Structure 1
């Protein structure tokens, strides 16, 4: 069993969340009261596959984030906090907004939930990077996608097409919108939780928008070296 902790040191209080994961890095949801907005029938995601399962009464993703959203429902996005993330390999610490910390915490929680449409994100969650920028998110998303394709399909023709990548992140957008529909029914005075999910949704949309430009913005990070340029004729000859 693995554990990642998020500690929010705010002016009024300090709050710690301990997330526990099984050996497959699926979130272990602790027993809790189940708010009405977590019911599967309450603002379900478009084409939710769990609606066809009669024994599934509550959305597993909503149950995973319920305690977090309840705790932060009255917090304002721009309020500052010192946020510490304790992962198995190392610790991260950043003075930033509550919204920024929630974005990382909710992203990790959603990616490791039992939601079948988010399951493809679990390998990225295993190597969680708190406070990731858009460029870092794009590099990680593409790298993990292509690595999985290689492991499962090798160098088979057509294994590295992007249609599957696009479909996965369109599905993430639908899940984000479903969750936003749910939490708008929570009685709250703050906006930090909703804005954190809106930013996560924005990242998913930008991943798709960058697809249209072939991710040109990332090419500056991967220049061809002299050795690669010199070796390329030999490689072509061998192939």
Structure 2
């Protein structure tokens, strides 16, 4: 059976700055359109991630870096601690939050990474379909586990071998941490201030926290599943 055509509207991030500036960035989850005129720091060979499977002879730009080009250009001169009002529109709902630019950018970068086409972030695309901005570490863990396990259930239904031990999810987050390190190196060369870089660091902290929880789960989510532990 052919999948139904996707008709979701782009995810829209609107940054309202204290000086009345408004900056809007839309991410098309179905078919992202990153800029073609990417800056030099987005070239694949420029501080290429150590585990990147792409080859500069075949691919000019790093997909993740190219997706970040416009946000970095706009936000590079704004300090990470600046408070902004961010309105995120997605899936027929609108979420507003007053927060630091650092956290707001981190939320946007997570979505851009998942939809960028980077080989190491492509498994996050399923989460991008149901993007939830400003996720806490517990929410990120919940969504990561739930998405991955649902994916394994669907794999099994297609006759493929499922990964119930979640070894693939651990590997995904280990690779994601290396990607974040590589992107941080690129952004240091691009950002005059630290907003984009700090947003990426915040994203990496969430990735590290999720990986730690996967490797040494200590019941962080147990209280939400009390009914599942009852004897039938």
Q: Please confirm whether the aligned pair reaches a TM-score higher than 0.5, indicating the same fold.
A: yes
Q: Which of 137, 140, 156 pairs up with 1:137?
A: 140
1:7 equivalent among 10, 14, 30? 14
Q: Give the equivalent residue in structure 2 for 1:174.
A: 178
- Correspondence for 1:218 among 217, 221, 231: 221
CA distance in 2, matches of 1:115, 1:156: 24
Pick the aligned partner of 1:79 from 72, 78, 82: 82
Q: Give the SS at the match of 1:8.
A: strand
Matched, 1:107 2:115: no
CA distance in 1, matches of 2:218, 2:125: 23
Change (3 A) 1:186 1:30: closer
Give per-residue Cα distances to partners, 1:208-232, cap 9 Å, x unaligned.
2112332411111111368x41x2x
Residue 164, structure 1, aligned to residue 168, structure 2: yes
User: Is the contact made by 1:7 and 1:17 (CA closer than 8 Å) also made in structure 2?
Assistant: yes
Q: Given the alignment, which residue of 44, 50, 64 partners 1:40? A: 44
SS at match of 1:201: helix
Considering only CA atoms, is the larger Rg found in Structure 1 or Structure 2?
A: 1
1:20: how far off?
A: 2.2
Normalising to structure 2: TM-score of the pair? 0.90
| Offset, 1:187 | 4.9
Contact conserved, 1:21 with 1:28, CA < 8 A, in 2?
Answer: no
| Structure 2 gap segments, 5+ residues each | 1-6
Q: How far, CA to CA, are the matches of 2:191 and 2:98 in structure 1?
A: 28
Counterpart secondary structure, 1:117: coil
The size of the alignment, in residue pairs, is 223
Match of 1:21 in 2: 29
Residues 80 and 101 in structure 2, CA contact (< 8 A), matched pair in contact too: yes
Change (3 A) 1:54 1:96: same
Report the aligned-residue RMSD: 1.9
| Partner of residue 200, structure 2 | 197
Task: Sort the Cα spacing of 1:157 and 1:110 in 2 relative to 1 into closer, same or farther, 3 A.
Answer: closer
TM-aligned CA distance change 1:109 to 1:224, over 3 Å: same
> How many Å apart are 1:157 and its aligned residue?
8.1
Tell me by how many angstroms 1:74 deviates: 1.3
Where do 5+ consecutive residues of structure 1 fail to align? 232-239
Give every structure 1 segment of 4 or more consecutive aligned residues whose post-TM-superposition deviation is greater than 4 Å. 154-158
| TM-score, normalised relative to structure 1 | 0.87
